Amino acid sequence: MSSEHDARRLMEAIRLIVRRFSLAERADIGCCGMTVAQAATLEALADGGLRLGELGQRLGIAPSTLSRNLDRLVERGLVLRGADPNDRRALKAELTKEGRLSATAVRQSELNFARNILDNLPPGSASSTLDTVDCLLTAVRSATEGCCPGAYDHLFAGSGIHVHERTES
């Protein structure tokens, strides 16, 4: 069993990483002229339109918050919102051409930040660091299933992260 000292060290390290990524994201997104929530919405829609219920679930936000968020993106000409052609009772959101360009810019900014982090690791350690992050995510998933079954999968739905799949570089 791990020591309390190690558990606290892990919690603090993760807290600092999350805080740093959040600050970087806010700064990067601020440069793109949108909120973090708006950028997350563009990113969620980047691979194609989604029904509003699915979009809200993927983003983990309430319908009223999603509605306000989409209102601002529609006003800026980045998102179209309308009836789902497959089910007229449902509403769907999708990116406009300008929205796709903005989503690409946001994604590129985040990718540049991640690349910068990898470039600042000791030479030759990027692969082992990423393997360690994969192990950490697997452990987080196992620990989460012990207290909140399904919560981990819900958090990562649509994220593209598959903990048990490994890619070789």
CA distances from 18 to 14, 21, 148 (A): 6, 5, 21
For the chain, which residues make up each domain, given as ranges?
4-120, 125-169
Low-confidence ranges of the chain (pLDDT < 70): 23-32, 151-169
Q: In the block, which residue shows the tokens 């950028």? A: 39
- Rounded CA gap, 92 and 59, in Å? 15
Please, which residues bridge with residue 51 across strands?
92
DSSP 154: H
| 30: enclosing H helix or E strand | helix 4-32
* Residue 59 φ/ψ region, left for φ over 0, alpha for ψ in the -120 to 50 degree band, beta for the rest: alpha
Task: Report if pTM > 0.75.
Answer: no
pLDDT confidence of residue 106: 85
Q: What does the pLDDT look like over 128-157, one tens digit per residue? A: 999 999 998 888 888 888 777 776 666 666
Asked if residue 43 lies in contact with residue 50, where contact means CB atoms within 8 angstroms, the answer is: no
pLDDT confidence of residue 71: 95
Asked if residue 131 lies in contact with residue 169, where contact means CB atoms within 8 angstroms, the answer is: no
Residue ranges of alpha helices (H) inside 46-161 are 52-59, 63-75, 97-119, 126-147, 151-156
- For 4-120, CATH number out of 3.30.1490.20, 2.60.40.1240, 1.10.10.10, 2.90.10.10 equals 1.10.10.10
- Rounded CA gap, 1 and 156, in Å? 27
